[in-house]
Amino acid sequence: LDTEMLKRTSCLLLGSGTLGCNVARTLIGWGVRRISFVDNGKVSYSNPVRQPLFTYEDSVGGKTPKAKAAAENLMKVCPSAEAEGHVLTIPMPGHSVSKSQAPKVKAEFEKLRELIIKHDIIFLLTDSRESRWLPSLIASAHNKLLINAALGFDTFVVMRHGTRREEEKKREGRRLGCYFCNDVVAPTDSLSDRTLDQQCTVTRPGLAPIASALSAEMAISLLHN
């Protein structure tokens, strides 16, 4: 166990909800100290019972940014942690962008790209398929290790996206696929008009801790091998 390496490793958590909070707590338990959160949501009344980095006080008024609160509360749990929160909306395919919104979306893309480049491991923990598309592409372009976790009503998936060593880049057909390589449906708007059973909050409470723990354990194992 290389504790010094774990302290130096920087992790970017895209999503600060049920998965993001649980992944962060597990990483802290392993000795990881540099964690950044990304989310565009606010802490709501239903969050604290499922998301262990939030309290009821965080949800009062519905104005507390999840990413900021997660970072602040993580450092209360572990004062030696270096945690940051970034309020950011991930640009998504299938969601229209007006001309007036274009500069904002471009700025968010650049910020997302900057964050992915500066971190060692990317955890993809968002609540929709299409929000995973752009981070997957950016991480692949910059050869970043990416751990993807997603929840269904009574199912979950945890997988790693492939990175390539220098000697492997010259050999075609020797890389792992990604979340979308194994999906026959192109990313599109899955958020509008979705039924209750398709919403991320409707899932077995025990699945998020299981999927989050597997995500963190996979990352730690890959760092040591």
Residues marked active site are found at 200
Distances (CA, A) of 97 to 91, 92, 103, 106: 9, 10, 10, 10
Residues 124/132, Cβ–Cβ less than 8 Å: yes
* Structure-block tokens of residue 106: 């471009």
What backbone torsions phi and psi does residue 13 show, to the nearest 5 degrees?
A: -105, 110
Q: Apex CA 68: angle with CA 65 and CA 71, to 5°?
A: 145
Torsion of CA 75, 81, 84, 85, to 10 degrees: -40
Residues 139/146, Cβ–Cβ less than 8 Å: yes
Residues 74/28, Cβ–Cβ less than 8 Å: yes
